[in-house]
Copies of this chain bind each other. A is one copy, B any other.
Amino acid sequence: MCQLLGMNCATPTDITFSFRGFSQRAGITSDHSDGFGIAFFEDKACRLFVDNQSAVESPIAELIRNYPIKSRNVIAHIRKATQGKITLENSHPFIRELWGRQWIFAHNGDLHGFDPKLTGKFTPVGNTDSERSFCYLLDQLVAKFGFVEPSLEEIFSVLEEISPKVAEYGTFNFCLSNGKALFSYATTKLHWIVREYPFKPARLIDLDVEVDFSAVTTPDDRVAVITTEPLTDNEQWQAYQPGEMILFQHGKPIQHATTHVERLAREAADPSLKRVTKADQY
């Protein structure tokens, strides 16, 4: 399994504070120590850092904690390998280009027996269910819109339709960004928060660090943070409902949908109802 961290901002913002807390979970406050990755968008392009060392020990993670890279869209992932090799090709986040933009995807959860026919336009490099689901989502977007870039709302409508179908194979919590906005979806666990004017102090759960955001921000700043488990203990994090999809842009939610909520709620109450087609291979 793993943990996700996403950030979507109105103005380019560095993720140093959140990443410091988040990366503690890679061996100190939790045991997600089998590699990490983080992607920072700058407009349509993105920097992707991955390492198969833990985010506590990796020199690359150390660089990121100390070198503030400002970005409007960031996605990070720390991994606890339950099954499957710790290789670079299986490291989240994954990257693909579509419509002249990079796309970044990170997934939390396991999909069982998810092996859809892919067109070949996007082919997994590694052998995770996660990268396969990413390629499948992009394939579906191309099937719908061809090579002409649609609006965010049109993309949302396809993701809203497709994601519950993928979620039939297991747990499907993800963050997806094209540098313009951040799409998020949860079937079991994801939380979000928006920090905006008037800013307040925030205190990390995983590390004895507090930042008073009012001292380091301007009224134009606004930051949405999305994460598996809340990062601070003095802010009000919102839990995603099972099957909830949220699109963030300019540091705030701009579109919500709840998909197949009833079925997911039934399964949450009685896990034996969950459709599992074959054993986890990854």
Q: How far is the CB of A84 from chain B (nearest CB, A)?
A: 14
Decide if A45 is an interface residue (CB 8 Å cutoff): yes
* Docked pose: A59 CA to B119 CA in angstroms: 40
Decide if A96 is an interface residue (CB 8 Å cutoff): yes
* Docked pose: A88 CA to B46 CA in angstroms: 7
Q: How far is the CB of A178 from chain B (nearest CB, A)?
A: 11
B88/A100 in contact, CB under 8 A = no
CB nearest to A43 among chain B residues = B89
CB nearest to A62 among chain B residues = B63
B101/A42 in contact, CB under 8 A = no
Q: How far is the CB of A14 from chain B (nearest CB, A)?
A: 13
Decide if A198 is an interface residue (CB 8 Å cutoff): no
Q: Taking the full assembly, how many copies of this chain does it contain?
A: 2
A95-B95, A125-B100 known; A59+B67 contact, CB < 8 A = yes
Decide if A147 is an interface residue (CB 8 Å cutoff): yes
Q: How far is the CB of A117 from chain B (nearest CB, A)?
A: 12
Q: How far is the CB of A192 from chain B (nearest CB, A)?
A: 27
A43-73 interface mask toward B, CB cutoff 8 Å, 1 = contact, 0 = none? 1111111100000000110010011000000
A125/B87 in contact, CB under 8 A = no
A88/B146 in contact, CB under 8 A = no
Decide if A116 is an interface residue (CB 8 Å cutoff): no
CB-CB < 8 A to A96: which residues of B?
97
A42-B87, A97-B96 known; A146+B120 contact, CB < 8 A = yes
Decide if A102 is an interface residue (CB 8 Å cutoff): yes
Interface size on A, residues (CB 8 A): 36
B147/A125 in contact, CB under 8 A = no
CB nearest to A48 among chain B residues = B48
A105-130 interface mask toward B, CB cutoff 8 Å, 1 = contact, 0 = none? 00000000000000111111110000
CB-CB < 8 A to A123: which residues of B?
97-100, 147
A87/B126 in contact, CB under 8 A = no
* Docked pose: A66 CA to B121 CA in angstroms: 37
Q: How far is the CB of A212 from chain B (nearest CB, A)?
A: 26
Cβ-neighbour of A63 out of B43, B63, B95, B100 (below 8 A): B63
* Docked pose: A46 CA to B48 CA in angstroms: 10
CB-CB < 8 A to A87: which residues of B?
42-43, 45
Residues on A lying within 8 angstroms of B by beta carbon are 42-50, 59-60, 63, 66-67, 87-89, 91, 95-102, 119-126, 146-147
Minimum-distance CB pairs A-B, first 8:
A120-B147, A45-B89, A100-B123, A42-B88, A45-B88, A59-B67, A44-B125, A45-B125
28 contacts between A and B (CB under 8 A): A42-B88, A43-B87, A44-B89, A44-B125, A44-B126, A45-B88, A45-B89, A45-B125, A45-B126, A47-B49, A47-B50, A48-B48, A49-B49, A59-B63, A59-B66, A60-B63, A60-B67, A63-B63, A97-B122, A97-B125, A98-B123, A101-B125, A102-B125, A119-B147, A120-B146, A120-B147, A121-B147, A123-B147
